[in-house]
Amino acid sequence: MMNWIRQAGYFLSTLSLFIRFSYLSFPIILPLLGAATVSFHLSNYQMLGLVAVAVAFHIFAHVQNDVIDLPLDRTELLRADSPLVRGMIQPRQALAIALLFILLGLVFTFWLGADSLAYLIFTLAAILITIYNVWGKRIIFPPLTDVIQGLGWSAMVWYGAVAVSGHPTVLIGVIIAFVTAFIVMINGIHNNLRDLANDLHCGMHTTALLLGVRPLGKGLILSLRFKLYALTLQVLLTGIIMLPLIDNWFSYPPMIWGVMLGVVSTFMLLCWVLLILSATAVHEHSRMISIGSLHLLTLLTSLLLVFAAYVGLRSITVLLIAYVLPMYSIAWYWVTRGIEKLRSISIVRQQGGR
């Protein structure tokens, strides 16, 4: 019995790595938030359909990326646990799975009863993501593919609105602009810094390398151009969030507007602090990654917060569940890592006392 439980746990762990389960929070909220912004009475049927489409698109995007980037991932220590890198799944099998989930996304779109525009948007999103997966880190001007990837993911916001309503509002444009800039921040700043040494070794073209960032020992040297680029993106993201709130495009009553303005402003200030802290941690790789992840998490939370009172209690509850649930694997990772660290410290102290 215990052996069966271990095998089941191992299988689930491998499957989680293969489909990047811990990253599901982001793609799931995109069509849900897009739909909730244009329709205040989403049915359980519609919500379930949108989640299914988002999961299918997520698996396609990440599995396809892992197949194309397999030669690069084999040289990256952080990707050593990947089932593809370990040879547990063959590239052809993984690519077939990615294509299967694109077809499933179209099937779920049919199940939702969406019109032809939803199919077109979903197909466009898949094409844009494919362009990034094939040519990202491989063209001379990588910020272009960063933007293309951002447009691919943000198209899923538009998809959610069209799939349930067909009448997107100006607030859909706010979410699309934020998601595009957010992906550019992830790709061009945090992910580039995380993988920089290996990307440079493998001859890849990334935004960070283009802007003059270089490895130094176990750390990095950030160029002035790169710092200005990161600050520009942060200013852009702050403006996208704060402008519609300050101008009250949501038509919030005065009391709700004041509370939302205070809460969201606090979160955006925290985003600035975390971005600066991550820049000061470039000589400690794991700390830089941790702070960078927290910065991105705070940014995305700010987007949900600014729409919290607008979409209604039911929709925001579903959004929060979809947002928080996949993160259990990240939380579990850090908890177990902390326990292991405390255990190793305890062992060292015991040995030192002998």
Question: Quick one: pLDDT at residue 278?
Answer: 94
Q: What percent of the chain has pLDDT over 90?
A: 65
CA distance 46 to 196: 41
- At residue 155, does pLDDT exceed 80? yes
CA distance 230 to 39: 35
For 139, list phi and psi in degrees, rounded to 5.
Answer: -110, 160
- Average pLDDT value over all residues in the chain: 89
Confidence of residue 350 (pLDDT cuts 50, 70, 90): low
CA distance 329 to 68: 25
The secondary structure of residue 140, as a DSSP letter, is: S
- In this structure, what token pair is assigned to residue 6? 């271990």
Query: What digits encode the pLDDT tens for the residues 29-83?
Result: 999 999 999 988 889 999 999 999 999 999 999 999 999 998 888 888 778 888 8
CB 252 within 8 A of CB 264: no
CB 50 within 8 A of CB 165: no
- At residue 348, does pLDDT exceed 60? no
Q: Mean of the pLDDT values across residues 269-288? A: 93
Query: What digits encode the pLDDT tens for the residues 206-230?
Result: 999 999 999 988 889 999 999 999 9
CB 244 within 8 A of CB 259: no
Half-sphere exposure for 337 (CA within 13 Å, toward CB): 8
Could you say which architecture CATH assigns to the domain 22-314?
Answer: Orthogonal Bundle (1.10)
User: Which of 324, 172, 335, 141 is closest to 249 using CA atoms?
Assistant: 172
Query: What digits encode the pLDDT tens for the residues 293-330?
Result: 999 999 999 999 999 999 988 888 888 888 888 776 55
Q: Mean of the pLDDT values across residues 233-241? A: 97
CA distance 216 to 201: 13
User: Which of 93, 86, 88 is closest to 64 using CA atoms?
Assistant: 93
Question: Quick one: pLDDT at residue 337?
Answer: 52
Q: Mean of the pLDDT values across residues 153-168? A: 92
The pTM of this model reads: 0.89
Which ranges of the chain does DSSP label H, i.e. alpha helix?
2-18, 25-38, 44-68, 70-73, 91-112, 116-135, 142-164, 170-185, 192-201, 207-210, 224-246, 254-280, 285-311, 313-324, 328-352
How would DSSP label each residue in 175-188?
HHHHHHHHHHHIII
Query: What digits encode the pLDDT tens for the residues 101-141?
Result: 999 999 999 999 999 999 999 999 999 999 999 999 899 99
The domain limits of the chain are 22-314
The one-letter code for the residue type at 265 is S
Quick one: CA dihedral 170, 171, 172, 173, positive or negative? positive
Question: Quick one: pLDDT at residue 73?
Answer: 86
Question: Quick one: pLDDT at residue 344?
Answer: 59
Specify the 3-state DSSP secondary structure of 166.
Answer: coil
- In this structure, what token pair is assigned to residue 208? 């960070």
